């Protein structure tokens, strides 16, 4: 799977994409992430990428020409399954959308800055607009990092234990059960006995019950979906 990410601050993405599971995915050849500095497509001597907004008001807007030039240069090389714009007014990223995106080959992600990108870029090129939550970031880079991480770890072979993503929170609309490690007793607090029993069937049942209780208590909205699906 390949991500191309267009940004005015690609440095912001370097560290999150070059450690831990993302690094392992890249080293295994399962995930390629290419960062494209929009500034290289900027206009004039100053490589301008933003401008004042029509109609007045504070905050700059990302100009269409550099973005269009960068997007078209990438499109000339390959076909994208989706051209994604990170935006607070996009569809909310959730596990179902991550699962869906993990089945694609080529994704192009545009990171906004300032007041965002000129609306015509969204109309002409963007096929999917994604928000990572109801809050405003100063740029799309952290949203892109979240997207690459959440989608990348779902590619078969990226996680060591291939089945483990299946038991994460939100798969099946349930939150994950609590987890424990050694020591079995710590500061007078004992690990639930069933987990030490070696009885896989009882353990599975306990985990499932815990998932149900936790989801019901903390995320009644998800629980509702679980019951109805």
Tokens of 85: 């714009």
List the 2-7 sheet strands across, edge first: 32-37, 2-7, 106-110, 82-92, 128-131
Q: Which of 151, 146, 69, 145 is nearest to 103 (CA)?
A: 151
Q: Does 133 bind ligand SAH (CB under 6 A)?
A: yes
> In this chain, which of 131, 173, 211, 215 binds ligand SAH, going by CB under 6 A?
131
- Quick check: 110 and 117 in contact, CB under 8 A? yes
129: left (phi over 0), alpha (psi -120 to 50) or beta: beta
Q: Does 113 bind ligand SAH (CB under 6 A)?
A: yes
Q: Does 177 bind ligand SAH (CB under 6 A)?
A: no
Residue (133 or 178) nearer to ligand SAH, CB: 133
CB of 32 to ligand SAH, least distance (A): 22
Distance in angstroms (rounded) separating the CA atoms of residues 3 and 161 = 24
Residue (36 or 177) nearer to ligand SAH, CB: 36
Residue (49 or 111) nearer to ligand SAH, CB: 111
CB of 131 to ligand SAH, least distance (A): 4
Q: Does 86 bind ligand SAH (CB under 6 A)?
A: yes
Residue (42 or 116) nearer to ligand SAH, CB: 116
Residue (101 or 159) nearer to ligand SAH, CB: 101
Q: Does 42 bind ligand SAH (CB under 6 A)?
A: no
> How many residues line the site for ligand SAH (CB under 6 A)?
18
CA 163 to chain centre: 20
Strand stretches in the chain, DSSP E: 2-7, 32-37, 50-52, 60-62, 82-92, 106-110, 128-131, 185-186, 189-190
Residues in touch with ligand SAH (CB under 6 A): 86-89, 111-113, 115-116, 131-133, 135-137, 139-140, 143
């Amino acid at each position: 799977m390949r991500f191309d990410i267009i940004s005015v601050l690609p440095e912001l993405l370097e560290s999150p994409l070059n450690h831990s599971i993302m690094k392992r995915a890249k080293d295994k050849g399962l995930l390629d992430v290419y960062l494209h500095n929009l500034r290289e497509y900027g206009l004039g001597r100053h490589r301008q990428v933003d401008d004042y907004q029509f109609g007045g008001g504070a905050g700059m807007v990302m100009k269409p020409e550099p973005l269009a030039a960068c997007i078209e240069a990438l499109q000339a090389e390959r076909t994208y399954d989706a051209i994604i714009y990170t935006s607070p007014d996009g569809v909310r990223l959730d596990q179902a959308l991550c699962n869906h995106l993990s089945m694609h080959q080529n994704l192009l992600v545009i990171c906004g800055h300032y007041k965002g990108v000129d609306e015509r870029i969204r109309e002409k090129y963007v096929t999917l607009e994604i928000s990572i939550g109801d809050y405003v970031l100063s740029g799309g880079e952290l949203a892109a990092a979240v997207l690459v991480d959440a989608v990348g770890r779902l590619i078969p072979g990226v996680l060591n234990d291939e089945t483990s993503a299946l038991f994460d929170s939100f798969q099946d609309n349930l939150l994950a059960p609590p987890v424990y490690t050694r020591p079995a007793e710590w500061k007078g607090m004992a690990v639930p006995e069933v987990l030490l029993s070696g009885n896989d069937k009882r353990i599975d049942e306990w985990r499932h019950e815990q998932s149900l209780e936790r989801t019901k208590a903390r995320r009644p909205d998800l629980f509702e979906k679980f019951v109805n699906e």
